[in-house]
Structure 1
Amino acid sequence: MAADKNTYSFLSDHTRIPNIGLGTWKSAKGDVKNAVIAAIDAGYRHLDCAFIYQNEEEIGEALKEKIKDGTIERDDIYITTKLWGTHHSPSRVEQGIKMSLTPLQLDYVDLYLMHSPCGRKFIDDKTFFPKDENDKNAYDDVHYVETWKAMEKLVEKGLAISIGVSNFNVSQMEEIVTAAQVPCVMNQIEIHPAIDQSDIITYCKAKSIALTAYSPFGSPDRPWASDKDPNLFEDPVVKEIAESRGCTAGQVLLAYHLNQEVVVVPKSVTPSRIKENFEALSIKLKPEEITKLKELNSTNYRACAMNMLKDHPYFPFK
């Protein structure tokens, strides 16, 4: 088995997480299996998944293949997945994780996150975006603290090693921290140089809650992207740092997170790009370079604004 080239962060429950993972959001069926195989072969030992991505079956097939050929054992790979809003009711949380465990062909995940604080009305296990009679989003007003308490039972049952949240703001995090009997080890949020997340980053670090940056490039390939959005790959500051170091703009953006002790989960289905992203682990930015990158947040640009949930009582980005 090849030497492990990852670096790790220790979580508040005394587990550890690889600092870079393969993101699988927007990875289409037919592509994601090969992307996972390429990532594992390149050295990745962390996969970031979610039930709502609807591609966990292929991820499970890739994991089975790489375990079977001896590249990895189950304990070598760190799997994160997420609870979707239709299963926020405490009575449905266990079913929610099993809907990921089954396609992933796993008995447990290493980290289970509440995908957002916003519950959706449960219709059935195949209705992910329920609507009401007026064709508007149908919500479940179950409070995320109640959902959290049900997630704690998943740890007791061995279905998840660690639990955390995603897309939570400071006040919502405080409610979770106050209620938690099992540590909240992670908040996965959008982080990149064009958005100011200093308040939530400061809070989480003060509470020993780790951070994962999703959309670390500003998610330029998301379906609703606009030509008017910031393009971090073409930003002069990013390009200048990349040129001075002989690396790519993407590697600079990943090093920006890694050098600040933030876990990062870049998505790609291209083997060469997957390998290139992993190599960002070796880039050490100077403090002044990180400062220059932080100054790009004047636009306070949020790629994943979750605007479809603006009328939800627990919408996090008000």
Structure 2
Amino acid sequence: MPTFMSSSQEHSMMSPSFDASSGDPEEPSSQGVVGPLSEGLVNGLKLPLYNPHALPHKAYDAYKTRPDIIASSGSGSVSFFDFTLGLSEEDIASIESSHANQEAQLEAQLAERYKNAENVSWRRERAPDVPLYHGRAMPVLGVDLALVTRPRACAMALRSALKAGVRRVDTSSSAGNETTIGEAFAAAFTEDRYGVVRVHRQDVFVAGTLAPNDVHDVEKAYKNTLANLRLKYLDLYTLEWPCATTKQTAQVWKAMEKLVADGLVRAIGVANFSIPKLEALLAASKVRPAVCHVEGHPHFRNDDVLRFCRENSVHVTVSHATGGVPRPKSAHLPPVAGAPPCLLVDDTVQSIAERRDVMPEQVVLRWALQRGTSTLIPAACVADIISVFDVFAWSLGKEEMERLSSMQYQRRHSAGRHLIGRASSFPSYEHLWDEPPLDTFAAPIPDLKIPTFQLGNTGAAIPQIGLGTWKSKPGEVQKAVEIALRNGYRHIDCAEVYRNEGEVGDALAAVLSEGRLKREDVFLTGKLWNTDHASSRVEPAVRKTLNALKVDYLDLYLMHWPVTGNRGATLSPSIEETWRAMEAAVQKGLVRAIGVCNFSIKKLEALTGIARLPVSVCQIEGHPYFRNEALVRWCQDRGIHVTCYSPFGSPDSAAMMRRESRKLLEEPAVHAIAKRIGRDVGQVLVHWAIQRGVSTLPKSTSEKRIVSNLDVYTFELSASDMSTLSTLSYQCRMVDPPEWLSPSTGPYRKYEDLWDEPPPSRAG
């Protein structure tokens, strides 16, 4: 029976941080209510299967497998995660129909967003070209597809831009969507339904970027970009950020010059370079940078860099033309305290737009063009690309230009905070930009002095409370992480399998760019998924996470499960093979500390016996309904820090694991303590965790709950309260995926093989 998954519902059940917002004390999960059960075979075991008709389809769909996890290995086919076993064909058809309806709704929304793309004829008008120093020409107005990740949206945005007359497309390897853009290119450069090729490759100026994590092998990174974009060459290849030293930048530039000499790329350039860094590069280069790509808009004019480039015949392209700050969802909402203002709703921009009967986006684009720079339409923020492109039939007057060029508020939107704070990158803002931060940066976020635990001699210190990021709807994680960081959280727990690392990266970049936090202020945890345990796959997995999070190192990297998905008597790849590759990631500076998740004492004993670098952290399930006391004690006795996930008891895991279990959030003893001390249930459970000497990861997307979960340092639980919560007779491992068991083949035939202990008693 097939396994299926909606692209809009990319979730996995194999997470250690299962406390979704639905698990908040004030937001009980309807998905956690166990409905009718049926019998089904899962890996040969007869287990109760959750009936999708007991809840709306979306609740069931959330637990579907990701197709890319279904893989194969040398030991045989990996066929876990199939939640359709035991369901009738009618059930399958019904759920597939539900998926189809959801996809149709999304497609309708996209079609509405880009409705003008199909309602206008192909335009002959083109943006004027600007000559580059080597004699080639580049359009002065292009489209930036960096943040458009959904294939349908990307194809529509590109088609809309090309029909409008846009003949310049900028991409970014850091955005992780080159493959999507490549598919859109392939569609754009083929015949339409009338048998006509409307635009050819040679008509479009395509620019790509070399990301910081790829500078170690420039040619390989470039060829990967070409393969992803389905192109034979790029018109421009840009070094996205300067390297930590002038010497390193010169070495990378030399490799980029070789691309030009070999005829692989037509022009090369740089981005986010200060004047001193440009001076050093110009002095050392054989091939001059054709373009310098920098931030530029009325809220950050960057006048000095523009003047320097003009004097040295380096063309400037300005990014974030619309200011980088999205419009508020409602004009009636009060501004968020400390949040940067939105340029598009600025009174000056609005008044000029109204007077000229144009859009605010057109005003700021026209302002950029009249300064002698080229600029880009941000496709992720601008729905009506065709209308926005109409900026060549009119011009701003002198008085209007002066008003836009004299705004007092000045601040970088993209300040590169993700690169700041390490000796291998830039120790401070001043080292990156060669100038002090602007006075208009917001004041630093108050340090709440959350206790931390030193992780051996790694130099890393893990905060006692962090934010879990598992299982949030698209668009929720970014907001939750921004709220958490602005309210004092300093630990964000991530995993590739959560499918939201990109949103976490966007949130981190947004907060760091405000100047209120530095990269070294935030502790980031990533996790290696089961299908990447082979030694050859570990480093690419780490780099994928780094790219998504927009950082150049992780504070902690964990092996997510002692599971690879292979069938057979022996686990393959072995834990030792995987650990050696993780140790190599530390030695390369990609990761500061390494550890494991969901390991038993026996498996930890085996690992510590062969480890060259210590196991810094063991992340495990831990709450009053599953205290995991022996494992916590064993780790603490050996200097291994313990992080406990699911402090609220993973309230929705019963349905996901196809079994019945109690709800910790409904436990009378917890409610009695909370009522007596005047705290909410969530705060009691978080404090119980930290009072045991471990760190913990409460999960929420509600601002109220995020703030409340951190407000646990002004009270203590009495010895009696701790004893009450630590002696509840009901004990149940909530996160226990049956898919990890292979009764007939191994390596884990039964519960005792995976956890190296019998199931806990559910007495009580």
TM-score of the superposed pair, with normalisation by structure 1: 0.90
Residue of structure 2 aligned with 1:154, choices 578, 585, 601: 585
| Partner secondary structure for residue 732 of structure 2 | coil
- What corresponds to 2:755 in structure 1? 317
For the 8 Å contact 1:19–1:262, the answer to whether it is kept is yes
Matches within 5 A, 1:200-211: 200-211=631-642
User: How far 1:2 moved relative to its partner?
Assistant: 2.7
CA RMSD of aligned residues (A): 1.9
Alignment of 1:270 with 2:713, yes or no, is: no
Alignment of 1:10 with 2:454, yes or no, is: yes
- What corresponds to 1:124 in structure 2? none
- What corresponds to 1:143 in structure 2? 574
* AA at the equivalent of 1:114: M
For the 8 Å contact 2:452–2:463, the answer to whether it is kept is yes
| Partner secondary structure for residue 475 of structure 2 | coil
Alignment of 1:174 with 2:601, yes or no, is: no
Counterparts of 2:715 and 2:490, CA distance in 1: 19
Counterparts of 2:548 and 2:715, CA distance in 1: 35
Counterparts of 1:89 and 1:140, CA distance in 2: 11
Counterparts of 1:233 and 1:39, CA distance in 2: 22
Counterparts of 1:77 and 1:179, CA distance in 2: 31
Residue of structure 2 aligned with 1:219, choices 650, 670, 682: 650
- What corresponds to 2:503 in structure 1? 58
Task: Report Cα offsets for 1:171-202 as digits up to 9, x if no partner.
Answer: 10011111111111100000000114122111
Counterparts of 1:150 and 1:192, CA distance in 2: 32
* AA at the equivalent of 2:687: A
Matches within 5 A, 1:237-316: 237-296=669-728, 298-311=729-742, 312-313=746-747, 316=754
Counterparts of 1:50 and 1:240, CA distance in 2: 35
Counterparts of 2:609 and 2:491, CA distance in 1: 29
Alignment of 1:90 with 2:90, yes or no, is: no
| Partner secondary structure for residue 184 of structure 1 | coil
Task: Report Cα offsets for 1:131-182 as digits up to 9, x if no partner.
Answer: xxxxx99x96211122111101111000000000000000100111111111
Counterparts of 1:12 and 1:120, CA distance in 2: 32
Superposition misfits of 4+ residues, deviation over 6 angstroms: none
Counterparts of 1:147 and 1:285, CA distance in 2: 41
Counterparts of 1:281 and 1:148, CA distance in 2: 36
For the 8 Å contact 1:90–1:147, the answer to whether it is kept is yes
User: How far 1:257 moved relative to its partner?
Assistant: 0.7
Counterparts of 1:178 and 1:33, CA distance in 2: 40
Matches within 5 A, 1:34-49: 34-49=479-494
The more displaced of 52-61 and 301-310 is: 301-310
Change (3 A) 1:94 1:227: closer
How many residue pairs get matched? 302
Computing the radius of gyration over CA atoms, which structure comes out larger, 1 or 2?
Answer: 2
Alignment of 1:194 with 2:632, yes or no, is: no
Counterparts of 1:237 and 1:260, CA distance in 2: 18
For the 8 Å contact 2:657–2:737, the answer to whether it is kept is no
For the 8 Å contact 2:622–2:647, the answer to whether it is kept is yes
Counterparts of 1:227 and 1:114, CA distance in 2: 26
- What corresponds to 1:163 in structure 2? 594
Task: Report Cα offsets for 1:220-266 as digits up to 9, x if no partner.
Answer: 13452779422212211111111121100110000011111111011
User: How far 1:83 moved relative to its partner?
Assistant: 0.2
* AA at the equivalent of 1:204: C
Task: Report Cα offsets for 1:240-294 as digits up to 9, x if no partner.
Answer: 1111211001100000111111110111111100000011233321222111101
The more displaced of 107-116 and 233-242 is: 233-242
Counterparts of 2:726 and 2:609, CA distance in 1: 31
Change (3 A) 1:94 1:225: closer
| Partner secondary structure for residue 274 of structure 1 | helix
* AA at the equivalent of 1:250: G
Counterparts of 1:43 and 1:8, CA distance in 2: 13
Counterparts of 1:101 and 1:251, CA distance in 2: 32
Counterparts of 2:642 and 2:627, CA distance in 1: 14
Change (3 A) 1:86 1:260: same
Alignment of 1:80 with 2:525, yes or no, is: yes
- What corresponds to 2:475 in structure 1? 30
User: How far 1:306 moved relative to its partner?
Assistant: 1.8
Task: Report Cα offsets for 1:71-105 as digits up to 9, x if no partner.
Answer: 21101000001000111011111011112111111
Counterparts of 1:80 and 1:152, CA distance in 2: 16
Counterparts of 2:657 and 2:487, CA distance in 1: 29
| Partner secondary structure for residue 165 of structure 1 | strand
Structure 1 stretches lacking a partner, 5+ long: 122-135
Counterparts of 1:252 and 1:226, CA distance in 2: 28
User: % of aligned pairs identical?
Assistant: 38
Counterparts of 1:145 and 1:242, CA distance in 2: 45
Counterparts of 1:11 and 1:288, CA distance in 2: 31
For the 8 Å contact 2:598–2:619, the answer to whether it is kept is yes
Residue of structure 1 aligned with 2:516, choices 65, 71, 92: 71
Counterparts of 1:89 and 1:272, CA distance in 2: 42
* AA at the equivalent of 2:637: A
| Partner secondary structure for residue 492 of structure 2 | strand
Task: Report Cα offsets for 1:10-65 as digits up to 9, x if no partner.
Answer: 22235311100000011222100000011011110100000000000000000000
For the 8 Å contact 1:112–1:160, the answer to whether it is kept is yes
* AA at the equivalent of 2:512: I
Structure 2 stretches lacking a partner, 5+ long: 1-443, 757-764
For the 8 Å contact 2:479–2:507, the answer to whether it is kept is yes
Change (3 A) 1:107 1:148: same
TM-score of the superposed pair, with normalisation by structure 2: 0.38
For the 8 Å contact 1:28–1:55, the answer to whether it is kept is no
* AA at the equivalent of 1:4: D
For the 8 Å contact 1:88–1:120, the answer to whether it is kept is no
* AA at the equivalent of 1:3: P
For the 8 Å contact 2:495–2:501, the answer to whether it is kept is yes
Change (3 A) 1:271 1:227: farther
Counterparts of 1:259 and 1:290, CA distance in 2: 8
| Partner secondary structure for residue 255 of structure 1 | helix
| Partner secondary structure for residue 727 of structure 2 | helix
Change (3 A) 1:281 1:95: farther
The more displaced of 278-287 and 13-22 is: 278-287
* AA at the equivalent of 1:300: Q
